[in-house]
Amino acid sequence: MQYGLLIGWFIALLLFKLVIYWNELGNTMSFNLCLLPREEKYQIQLDYEASFWAYQIKRNKKTREQVYNTIHSRPVAEQMFLKQQFEQYLSMMLS
């Protein structure tokens, strides 16, 4: 049952991101993520990871220290973005 909740959470997050991109592009029909440049697709992946870590903390599956150790094992160029997104999602989930 928890696995289904997790899948539902990530589908909702993906749909939220798609709505943001639709609004930015002025597109009201549909949007194919495959058409995005490689850098934007990678940013979406990083954002997805940050939200998953926040979800794991909310469910007591990981500690903040474990998440930060994971972030610090990533390339330096990604670390600031991951920290920022992780803290943003964590504050939304814990409020």
pLDDT by residue for the chain (95 residues), tens only, comes to: 465 666 667 677 777 776 666 666 665 556 677 888 899 889 989 999 999 999 999 999 999 999 999 999 999 999 999 999 999 999 988 88
pLDDT score of 27: 54
What does the block give as tokens for 85? Answer: 């997104």
Complete DSSP assignment for 43-80: HHHHHHHHHHHHHHHHTTSS-HHHHHHHHHTS-HHHHH
Query: For the chain, which residues make up each domain, given as ranges?
Result: 2-94
Residue written as token pair 């029909």? 29
CATH architecture of 2-94: Up-down Bundle (1.20)
pTM over 0.75: no
pLDDT score of 6: 64
Residue written as token pair 């597109």? 27
pLDDT score of 84: 95
pLDDT score of 60: 93
Instruction: Dihedral sign for Cα 53, 55, 57, 62, please.
Output: negative
